[in-house]
């Protein structure tokens, strides 16, 4: 479970039962508590260097109230983001949040989960009779803070009773015990983000091992959840074909019985100019492939451009990765490959 080194509360967060409960819990643990006027502008996180500030931010929790009424769109994995948390304790060098969270990506949780779910209900009814899908992991890995908030469990139970609402979230973490007790009604799909052992060792610091992630996926599958794997980010470097081949072979071996309705999302490595600047400041010796000249420039859904692999490389990858999914998981479904 994630244990912060320091916690900031927005004063309004203490008007909610979860805010009070967390305050008592952290005080009892002797964790320093401060107030902050806004969960968006938190000052006083220590660190003499950029790298130190980053590490300290990853041990800092901010407890706030989500006030905005609107949810962001979330292509291609869902229709809307479900805002439950921000950031995570992991330190992946390539973190996809580096564009938006900057150099001090502190963790943030919201205490007004009931209001957030009520807003989700409005979105669902506005889009009737269609099914509306919400993604819970678009701005965070929501699992490490779940033992503190129980927000995922609440969301799972909320969506279980929504005929036209579906929930999904992706994670690399394994604190999923409480979810097994939740009524999910097959309306929530949990996807585990995996990568080759080498990529995990090189870039995904402070995250669970591949084996632990697969074990957590098996556990949720045994609890009846639809599950999936998000292979991301896929790097087309070195012996990538063999390494991803080994990854799929291992994944297949770990399942004595194949889950029905298994999904795959395949996401190639990409970066924005802002993310590159932030990542180089945080990991000056990184071996991440960040040479713009080897990439193609493309505009993304939030208006900023990103550097993606070139078309020929993508065609090759599409052929090979699709082939691996079909070879090892003939009934597996590829939701998308980008």
Instruction: Please give the residue ranges that form the binding site for ligand SF4 (CB under 6 A).
Output: 88, 90-92, 95-97, 141, 172, 207
Helix axes 113-126, 151-160, angle to 10 degrees: 30
Q: Least CB distance from residue 265 to ligand SF4, whole Å?
A: 14
Q: Would you say 267 and 277 are in contact if contact means Cβ atoms under 8 Å apart?
A: no
Q: Least CB distance from residue 54 to ligand SF4, whole Å?
A: 11
Q: Would you say 191 and 229 are in contact if contact means Cβ atoms under 8 Å apart?
A: yes
Which of 124/155 has CB closer to ligand SF4?
155
Q: Least CB distance from residue 2 to ligand SF4, whole Å?
A: 11
Which of 237/310 has CB closer to ligand SF4?
237
Q: Least CB distance from residue 101 to ligand SF4, whole Å?
A: 9
* Strand duo 165-171 + 188-194: pairing: parallel
Q: Output the residue with the shortest Cβ distance to ligand SF4.
A: 92
Q: Least CB distance from residue 303 to ligand SF4, whole Å?
A: 21
Give the SS3 label for residue 119.
helix
C-alpha–C-alpha distance, residues 94 and 172, integer Å: 14
Which of 63/97 has CB closer to ligand SF4?
97
Q: Least CB distance from residue 137 to ligand SF4, whole Å?
A: 8
Give the SS3 label for residue 332.
coil
C-alpha–C-alpha distance, residues 188 and 169, integer Å: 8
Q: Least CB distance from residue 231 to ligand SF4, whole Å?
A: 13
Which of 47/90 has CB closer to ligand SF4?
90
DSSP letter at 256? Answer: S
Q: Would you say 81 and 116 are in contact if contact means Cβ atoms under 8 Å apart?
A: no
Q: Least CB distance from residue 67 to ligand SF4, whole Å?
A: 23
Which of 96/328 has CB closer to ligand SF4?
96
Which of 87/162 has CB closer to ligand SF4?
87
Name the one residue in this structure whose structure tokens are 């916690």. 7
Which of 10/141 has CB closer to ligand SF4?
141
- Judge if the upstream peptide bond of residue 76 is cis by omega within 30 degrees of 0: yes
Q: Least CB distance from residue 230 to ligand SF4, whole Å?
A: 10
What length does the chain have? 338
C-alpha–C-alpha distance, residues 38 and 35, integer Å: 9
Which of 39/187 has CB closer to ligand SF4?
39
- Tokens representing 237 are 């470097």
Identify each DSSP E strand in the chain by its residue range: 6-9, 33-35, 60-64, 80-81, 85-86, 91-92, 107-110, 132-135, 165-171, 188-194, 204-205, 227-234, 263-268, 295-299, 305-309, 333-337
Which of 62/97 has CB closer to ligand SF4?
97
């Amino acid at each position: 479970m994630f244990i912060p080194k320091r916690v900031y509360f927005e004063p309004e967060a203490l008007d909610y039962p979860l805010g009070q409960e967390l305050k008592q819990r952290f005080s009892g643990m002797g964790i320093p508590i401060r107030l902050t006027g806004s969960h968006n502008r938190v000052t006083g996180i220590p660190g003499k260097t950029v790298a130190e500030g980053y590490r300290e931010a990853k041990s800092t929790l901010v407890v706030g109230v989500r006030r905005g009424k609107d949810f962001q769109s979330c292509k291609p994995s869902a229709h809307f983001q479900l805002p439950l948390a921000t950031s995570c304790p992991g330190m992946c060098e390539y973190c996809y949040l580096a564009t938006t969270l900057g150099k001090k990506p502190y963790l943030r949780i919201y205490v007004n989960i009931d209001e957030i779910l009520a807003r989700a209900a409005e979105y669902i009814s506005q889009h009737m009779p269609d099914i509306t899908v919400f993604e819970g992991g678009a701005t965070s890995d929501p699992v490490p803070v779940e033992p503190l908030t129980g927000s995922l469990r609440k969301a799972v139970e909320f969506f279980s009773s929504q005929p036209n609402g579906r929930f999904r979230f992706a994670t690399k973490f394994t604190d999923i015990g409480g979810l097994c007790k939740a009524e999910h009604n097959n309306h929530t799909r949990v996807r585990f983000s995996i990568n080759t052992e080498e990529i995990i060792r090189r870039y995904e610091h402070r995250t669970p091992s591949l084996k632990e992630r697969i074990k957590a996926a098996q556990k949720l599958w045994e609890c009846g959840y639809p599950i999936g794997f998000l292979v991301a980010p896929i790097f087309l470097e070195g012996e990538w074909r063999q390494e991803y081949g080994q990854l799929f072979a291992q994944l297949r071996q770990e399942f004595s019985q194949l889950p029905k309705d298994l999904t795959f999302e395949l996401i190639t490595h990409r970066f924005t100019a802002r993310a590159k600047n932030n990542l180089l400041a945080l990991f000056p010796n990184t071996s991440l492939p960040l040479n713009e000249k080897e990439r193609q420039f493309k505009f993304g859904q939030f208006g900023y451009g990103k550097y993606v692999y070139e078309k020929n490389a993508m065609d090759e990858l599409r052929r090979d990765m699709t082939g691996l999914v079909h070879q090892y998981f003939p009934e597996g479904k590829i939701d998308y490959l980008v």
